[in-house]
């Protein structure tokens, strides 16, 4: 283990050196809450299976999943770069649009396989030195229209995710992509304030135009 590099809803992520093949990898270790209860290994395995379906350079590759260990762990490609949100505002608008095009095509690939990410946000998209994106964290991915409500990050969730009576489908990811692009263009998400304020904004759907927040936006 070299260092802890982040955490998500399901686990802690570490940078490791593979001593057998002498390469750097990332490991996602299943999270335990304060009472010692871990995320379901079945949920953890579902994320690994989703990642294993991909052969897309814009989606992080998985090498191995171990659910017979304690804790369970997914070993995957280590992306040496920066979160999209940290670099976006320093890029030209054409560069931002090119990155979004790549991300959209990768998400389309996921949809073609019947997988919806359902937690798309800038912190789940890494950029390497060539500004090529890598989508991470398929922990909430699913294809079941009746599952996944009230989960995700408030600023990026779609209105139908707030209503268990409404189905979730590929359009949920498209909504999140729209929020991400909005943020890349003008440096802010469509709705801000408390969680209650943000969720009310998502429900009512009356955002300002990006150009109202940044006059430079084309």
State the catalytic residues: 119
* Torsions phi, psi for 41 (to 5 deg): -55, -30
Residues 6 or more apart whose Cβ sits within 8 Å of residue 6: 12, 13
Residue 204, helix vs strand vs coil:
helix
The CA-based angle 108-49-124, given to 5 degrees, is: 55
Residue 143, helix vs strand vs coil:
coil
- The H or E element that residue 212 is part of is helix 210-213
* Torsions phi, psi for 149 (to 5 deg): -75, 150
């Amino acid at each position: 283990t070299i260092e802890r590099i982040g955490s998500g809803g399901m686990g802690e992520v570490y940078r490791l050196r593979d001593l057998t093949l002498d390469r750097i990898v990332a490991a996602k270790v299943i999270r335990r809450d304060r009472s010692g209860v871990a995320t379901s290994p079945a949920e953890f395995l579902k994320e690994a299976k989703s990642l294993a379906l991909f052969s897309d350079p814009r989606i992080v590759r998985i090498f191995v999943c171990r659910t017979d260990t304690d804790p369970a762990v997914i070993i995957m490609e280590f992306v040496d770069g920066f979160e999209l949100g940290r670099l976006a505002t320093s890029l030209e608008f054409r560069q931002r649009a090119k990155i979004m095009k790549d991300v959209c095509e990768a998400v389309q690939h996921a949809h073609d396989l019947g997988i919806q990410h359902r937690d798309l946000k800038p912190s789940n998209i890494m950029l390497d030195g060539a500004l090529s994106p890598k989508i991470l964290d398929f922990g909430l991915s699913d294809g079941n229209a009746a599952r996944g409500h009230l989960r995700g990050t408030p600023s990026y969730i779609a209105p139908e995710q707030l209503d268990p009576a409404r189905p979730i489908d590929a359009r949920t990811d498209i909504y999140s992509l729209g929020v991400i692009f909005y943020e890349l263009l003008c440096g802010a998400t469509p709705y801000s304030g408390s969680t209650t304020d943000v969720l009310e904004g998502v429900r009512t759907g009356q955002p300002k135009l990006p150009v109202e927040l940044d006059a430079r936006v084309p």
